Amino acid sequence: MTTNAATDPMIGRMIDHRYRVRSRIARGGMATVYLATDVRLERRVAIKIMHGHLADDQAFRERFIQEARSAARLSHPNLVGVYDQGAEDDTAYIVMEYIPGITLRDLLQEHHALTPEQATDILRAVLAGLASAHRAGIVHRDLKPENVLLADDGRIKLGDFGLARATTANTATGAALLGTIAYLSPELVTRGAADSRSDIYALGIMLYEMLTGEQPYKGEQPMQIAYQHANDSVPAPSAAVPGVPSELDDLVAWSTARNPDDRPSDAREMLDHMAGNQQRATGQYRTAVLRPENATAILPAGGTAPSSADSGDDTTILEPAQRSSGQQPNGRGSRNVPGPRRTGSQPGALSPAGQRLADKSAKRRKRGWIVLAIVLFLAIVGGTIGWALGPGPWGNVRIPEVAGKSVSQARQLLEAQGLSTAKATATRFDAVVAKGQVSTTKPAAKREVRKGTAVQIVVSNGPKMIALPAIVGQPLSTVTAALDDDFQLQDDQYQFSADAAKDTVIAATGLGTDGATIDLSKAGTYGERGPVTLTVSLGPVPDVVGGTVDEATKAFDAVGLTIGAQDGKFSDEVPEGEILSAKPQDSPAVKGTAIDLVVSKGPAPITLPDVHGKTINEATSTLDTLGLKVVVPDCTNILCGFYDWKSSLPVSSTDPVAGTTVHRGDTITLAYEQ
């Protein structure tokens, strides 16, 4: 890239006499985001400024303003706040809350996949903010990891409502589908219709990507991915990453159902569902086990029933009472006391029913010991298996990151983790990793697999070479649309050109594998995702020759040029004050270049020579040489007719007199004595 933020003309600019632009944060398809200072409130803000080449497109301007209006209606801790919106010099801008940190996309690129706890924490925060938008009737329509901001202080915020619109206007405008193809819901792909359930679908895709580190659908062309959205069901994350809880599998399946009616109706319903699952997981919802109403008890001879607190078992066997004569111990009265019926005369013998209950209780106690033994055995076996599956030989390990390393280095790192490597390597195109180095592995890095798993190394073939379309001489919007999907467009360079109309591409450059600059106008192909810098015409430098300096100043200010040095030059043809020539100090001229001017000083001054005493012809010749007009009164003396009097008669005086300042073309009258 040949330009950077340091040469960005917006850096240092004061917008609307309030926002001082400090540095560039990011660049998108519609606008560039800068870090700025609100000098009035003395706080840092993020200011999004629409690209200059889109300023004349009314549809883009309305969509840009729609973002500000949509976001300004919302106020929630998990949404990026919007402070201001306006326009200056045909440039629309939005002033937003500045969130120092990274995006969810950055986090996924660094860590590949997240833990279920991390994924649900981020999803819960995004749902909370999105629920506020849905409650206000706003559909985001462009949910993706790039729009989820993770602040340095731990806050999670959802931003970029550039495609947002009211839920009542649920039809996509234009023939092109808006939003990122990887997160588009089936109804957006097939019908162009979007409502809050379309946002839920995108969140389901994001959840799958957070849990697995990759998107569920892949393809060489966007339409291949769109077809899968419309016709396939998103697989369970646990199929790609063992260990993902079934609750999250269900949540992904629910939120990505192809039929919108089978999804949560909005973010609030999905958030409430997640909160309910968490309560059940923490034990706030329990199943109560009640005691049976008809428990059987063998009561002692005293007939006192056990308290309700002691009647927890189905059968309670109590010690039998001592034998008695059926009288109360104190001898008062002859009341019979009920008790269990006994058979025979053997002391302590129980009735058949009581004996059966006692045998049943004994069997239960015996079964309890057996169950305890089984539990202990299973605990030992489970501990052994847990050790084997953990630090032991059957344990799981994470595949290390080996991208960018040589094949031999990758094998060493994989085998050091207890993994085996397949002898045969695979290849694939890779726009980032140099040819011959490791691009990735199968299974991918950071996946958790069993020790001893065979891992195949995939070697980079370098970037895929893609045919370049016509570039030079084409409108900037046409070239940008043709290159944006396959290459990384850098900041455009602008310069004045007498041979190309305004906003026409006049050059395109890229970088070779050796870092050298490539002229893409002469290259038939170029590596996928390679950087491309376009040079765009600002049109010709305004022609100010023949005009005044004031006129030139206005013309240059309108296109971003300035006036440099001004020199004067005498001219017999151009009136004083008119511009004779204009030349840029730099070639090619760009915005900010100074133009040097040469301004006419009019005809050069002449000091009238003294021709007194010279003949009329001699004086006339001298004055003619200086560009002066000579007038000689006719001779009225009769003798003048008989000889060449102009060659004989001397000049006695001139009008004006000798020494006077005159200019070319002035008339000089000669006087002589007749």
467: helix, strand or coil: strand
Count the neighbouring beta carbons within 10 Å of the beta carbon of residue 234: 21
Question: Measuring CA to CA, which residue among 170, 182, 97, 189 is closest to residue 143?
Answer: 182
The three-point CA angle 524-525-530 to 5° equals 140
CB 315 within 8 A of CB 353: no
Supply 162's token pair: 């550039």
Question: Measuring CA to CA, which residue among 571, 573, 574 is closest to residue 548?
Answer: 574
pLDDT given for residue 357 in this prediction:
47
DSSP 374-398: HHHHHHHHHHHHHHHHTTSTT-EEE
pLDDT digits (tens, 9 = 90+) for 571-629: 888 999 999 999 999 999 999 999 999 999 988 899 999 999 999 999 999 999 998 99
pLDDT given for residue 319 in this prediction:
38
Q: Which amino acid is at 295?
A: A
- Catalytic-labelled residue, pool 106, 142, 199, 484: 142
Q: How far apart are CA 663 and CA 628, in angstroms?
A: 7
Q: How far apart are CA 588 and CA 496, in angstroms?
A: 7
pLDDT given for residue 91 in this prediction:
78
CB 24 within 8 A of CB 43: no
pLDDT given for residue 87 in this prediction:
82
pLDDT given for residue 212 in this prediction:
96
N- to C-terminal Cα distance for the chain?
87
What would the mean pLDDT of 447-455 be, rounded to a whole number?
A: 88
Q: Which amino acid is at 276?
A: G
pLDDT digits (tens, 9 = 90+) for 339-392: 333 434 444 444 444 455 456 556 656 776 787 778 888 877 777 666 555 555
Contacts of 89 (CB under 8 A, 6+ apart): none
The three-point CA angle 516-519-525 to 5° equals 95
What would the mean pLDDT of 62-72 be, rounded to a whole number?
A: 73
User: CA-based Rg of the chain, rounded to a whole angstrom?
Assistant: 47
The DSSP code for 433 is: S
**At what angle are helices 267-281 and 116-135 packed, to 10 degrees?**
140
| Residues counted in the chain | 674
Greatest mean pLDDT among 2-6, 306-310, 319-323, 390-394: 390-394
pLDDT digits (tens, 9 = 90+) for 276-298: 765 444 433 332 223 333 333 33
Strand pairing of 505-511 and 148-151?
unpaired
Residue with tokens 């397949």: 422
473: helix, strand or coil: coil
Contacts of 40 (CB under 8 A, 6+ apart): 18
The DSSP code for 262 is: G
The phi-psi region of residue 478 (left if phi > 0; otherwise alpha if psi is between -120 and 50; otherwise beta) is: alpha
Q: How far apart are CA 525 and CA 255, in angstroms?
A: 42
pLDDT level of residue 510 (50, 70, 90 thresholds): very high
Residue with tokens 């960018």: 404
Of 335 and 205, the structure prediction assigns the larger pLDDT to 205
Residue 248 scores a pLDDT above 90: yes
The helix, strand and coil proportions of the chain, stated in percent and rounded to the nearest 5, come to 30, 25, 45
454-475 burial: b if 16+ Cβ within 10 Å, else e: ebebbbbebbeebebeebbebe
Question: Measuring CA to CA, which residue among 127, 149, 148, 130 is closest to residue 138?
Answer: 130
CB 534 within 8 A of CB 489: yes
Residue 76 scores a pLDDT above 70: yes
Q: How far apart are CA 438 and CA 445, in angstroms?
A: 12
Element (H, E) at 365: helix 352-389
610 is an active site residue: no
pLDDT digits (tens, 9 = 90+) for 216-227: 998 888 888 888
Supply 349's token pair: 């013998």
440: helix, strand or coil: strand
User: Most distant CA pair in the chain: distance in Å?
Assistant: 198
What would the mean pLDDT of 237-266 be, rounded to a whole number?
A: 94
CB 635 within 8 A of CB 597: no
pLDDT given for residue 220 in this prediction:
80
pLDDT digits (tens, 9 = 90+) for 159-209: 887 545 544 444 444 333 444 788 999 998 888 788 999 999 999 999 999
Contacts of 362 (CB under 8 A, 6+ apart): none
User: What's the pTM?
Assistant: 0.43
Contacts of 404 (CB under 8 A, 6+ apart): 433, 434, 437, 438
pLDDT given for residue 664 in this prediction:
87
pLDDT given for residue 312 in this prediction:
37
pLDDT given for residue 52 in this prediction:
76
Residue 58 scores a pLDDT above 90: no
422: helix, strand or coil: coil
pLDDT digits (tens, 9 = 90+) for 105-143: 999 998 999 999 999 999 999 999 999 999 988 888 889
DSSP 2-31: ---GGG-TTTTPEETTTEEEEEEEEE-SSE
pLDDT digits (tens, 9 = 90+) for 535-547: 999 999 999 999 9
Residue with tokens 């080449």: 53
